[in-house]
Chain A
Amino acid sequence: MKNDSAGDNAPVVMGIETSCDETGVGIVRGHELLADAVASSVDEHARFGGVVPEVASRAHLEAMVPTVQRALDDAGLTLGDLDGIAVTAGPGLAGALMVGVGAAKAYSIATGVPLYGVNHLSAHIAVDTLENGPIPEPAIGLLVSGGHSSIMMVEDLAGKVTQLGASIDDAAGEAFDKVARLLGLPFPGGPYIDRAAKEGDRAFVQFPRGLTAAKDMERHRYDFSFSGLKTAVARWIEARRAEGEDVPVNDVAAAFQEAVCDVLTRKAILAAKEHGVETVLLGGGVAANSRLRALATERAEAAGLTLRYPRPKLCTDNGAMVAALGSHLVAAGVAPSRIDFPANSSMDVEVVSLANRL
């Protein structure tokens, strides 16, 4: 019954996500989204210029039960209607993860509903089922967020997901935040850079494309590096100021964004072609970026590949993605997790769910 999780008999699953600064609780029935409640502490982090783990954890504790209640209300369901509870077990901020994992375990014990500890990254892939239906396997997933930049090979969303490459330093979303700061744009940087870039010239300056030189393509074929790019932008701005000239924010934003999107899409398409895979999925907060979507669409078309991505609200962290993966696991007959599983801040990208093991 793999991938056959549409329809009235599809598993109803609640997903809980607390790996970073969003307290997300989503409810799905198979591929149908029933509720997507998110409480964000992003405004509390803005003045610190980045996510403060303790601030995020405190906000999760306050928001946890009310967000579950809101999701159930939105879906018109009670806990007794659930076939499963899924929760992000990692990777993410340890203290933040523990709030969601603690809550999910307690809800499971109090209701008898089976519990699934799942991988945040696989959930970012699974969320696409809510928008575009079952994922053809194999598929290449390009996962880009504030914490991750990975190219994943999805052979079986219920159990076989491997990583072909990842950032060797900063995540793409981190680079957006840092460059936004250099340009005097607010946190989180992604949406502001995207907006500014629309008014700018992408070819204004050619910023470096990390790990694309011939020798890097041997050793780091599907890997990314964004730390050098961030430094290059900083140097360029410094030099410009030293000459007493204004920094054209829109143009720098556009040129920086182009460098990121160029490398991300180039390598993801390459991975699909070289592995004989016909479908490429975008996921993670940076997948909400308009230029990434446009460039990926253009290049996938040129390569004869199918590109899929969910609406922006489902790209950023939310509980619906965790629920989507949970529902897929239930439908695939994957065993629930043991009640003593830990929250794992550095959870292996290839572990889709903590089925019956630690």
Chain B
Amino acid sequence: MRVLALDTSTSAVQAALVDLDDDELFLTAFRREVNARGHVERLAPFIEGCLADAGRTRADVDAVVSGVGPGPFTGLRVGMVTAAAFADGAGIPVYGVCSLDGIGGNTRGRALAATDARRKEIYWAVYDDGRREGEPQVCRPSELPETRADYAIGEGASKYAGELPMDAETEPVYPDLVKLVELAAPRLLAGAPSERLTPLYLRRPDAQPAAAPPAASA
């Protein structure tokens, strides 16, 4: 089956077409641009570009897989709404995968996958031989709890290498779309029901309830 995979949880705007047959995965087209403010402009042309590169049309896509964060909200939402609307428009199912798993899922040993949460914070999770331990978190690099991770990887790791207690990959690594499809493969192959994608925000909106207005009489 042919899967459209999208992730906009980091500054990389990413789209790919991945063929999934039994447990074989094959990347047939891939577009990526590191452009933290370009999600809404770049993503749709990337989908069209991937289809053209692979010599396919929209009718050839059987399912959509989307990273659901955590990630900076505005860009993350663009990818998720694109995935949900494309799937709805094409009448095919959509499945969500934690974007950090697209980084940590490819690691060996104990690794910290970290992306840039802005405001001097990182989104992170710990992986043991590629398997995530617990839920993703957000905090300042200097405030990480004891993770026993041997190294850190991801955009958040390269950016904050100096503040992290473990070695960090100096090159930014972005969520691997083939990995996201692999993690969704059981659902894809089983024809699981389409999902309502829920972003991993990990933070509440910044807003203070208004002070009570002064009383007035009628």
Interface residues of A (CB under 8 A from B): 47-50, 52, 54-55, 57-58, 60-61, 64-65, 68-69, 79, 94-95, 98-99, 101-112, 181-184, 196, 237, 241, 246-250, 339-343
Interface residues of B (CB under 8 A from A): 39-45, 47-48, 58, 73-74, 77-90, 199, 201, 205-210, 213-218
6 cross-chain pairs, A with B, having the tightest CB-CB distances, nearest first = A110-B89, A49-B210, A106-B85, A54-B205, A105-B44, A103-B85
Report how far A124 CA is from B208 CA in the complex, Å.
31
Q: Can you pick out 19 interface pairs between chain A and chain B where the beta carbons lie within 8 Å of each other?
A: A50-B210, A54-B206, A57-B73, A58-B73, A65-B84, A99-B78, A103-B82, A104-B85, A106-B89, A109-B44, A110-B58, A111-B89, A111-B90, A112-B58, A183-B213, A247-B216, A249-B216, A340-B41, A343-B40
Residues of A within 8 A of B199 (CB): 58, 61
- Given A95-B77, A181-B213, A183-B216, 9 further pairs, Cβ under 8 A: A58-B201, A65-B81, A65-B85, A68-B85, A110-B86, A110-B87, A181-B210, A182-B216, A183-B213
Report how far A49 CA is from B214 CA in the complex, Å.
13
Residues of A within 8 A of B208 (CB): 48
Among candidates A55, A61, A111, residue contacting B81 with C-beta atoms closer than 8 Å? A61
Report how far A309 CA is from B80 CA in the complex, Å.
37
Residues of B within 8 A of A340 (CB): 41-42, 44-45
CB-nearest residue of chain A relative to B197? A61
Shortest A240–chain B CB gap in Å is 10
Shortest A127–chain B CB gap in Å is 23
Residues of B within 8 A of A343 (CB): 40
Contact check, A184 vs B85: say whether CB atoms are below 8 A apart: no
CB-nearest residue of chain B relative to A55? B205
CB-nearest residue of chain A relative to B76? A61
Report how far A341 CA is from B40 CA in the complex, Å.
8
Residues of A within 8 A of B78 (CB): 98-99, 102
Report how far A187 CA is from B176 CA in the complex, Å.
45
Contact check, A68 vs B88: say whether CB atoms are below 8 A apart: yes
Residues of B within 8 A of A341 (CB): 41
Shortest B120–chain A CB gap in Å is 19
Residues of B within 8 A of A103 (CB): 81-82, 84-85
Residues of A within 8 A of B44 (CB): 102, 105-106, 108-109, 339-340
Contact check, B88 vs A69: say whether CB atoms are below 8 A apart: yes
Report how far A341 CA is from B218 CA in the complex, Å.
50
Given that A105-B82, A106-B82, A106-B85 are known contacts, is A95 also in contact with B207, CB under 8 Å in the complex? no
Contact check, A64 vs B217: say whether CB atoms are below 8 A apart: no
CB-nearest residue of chain B relative to A64? B81
Among candidates B58, B83, B215, residue contacting A184 with C-beta atoms closer than 8 Å? B215
Residues of A within 8 A of B74 (CB): 57, 94-95, 98
CB-nearest residue of chain A relative to B6? A106
CB-nearest residue of chain B relative to A199? B218
Contact check, B90 vs A58: say whether CB atoms are below 8 A apart: no
Residues of A within 8 A of B79 (CB): 102
Report how far A34 CA is from B215 CA in the complex, Å.
44
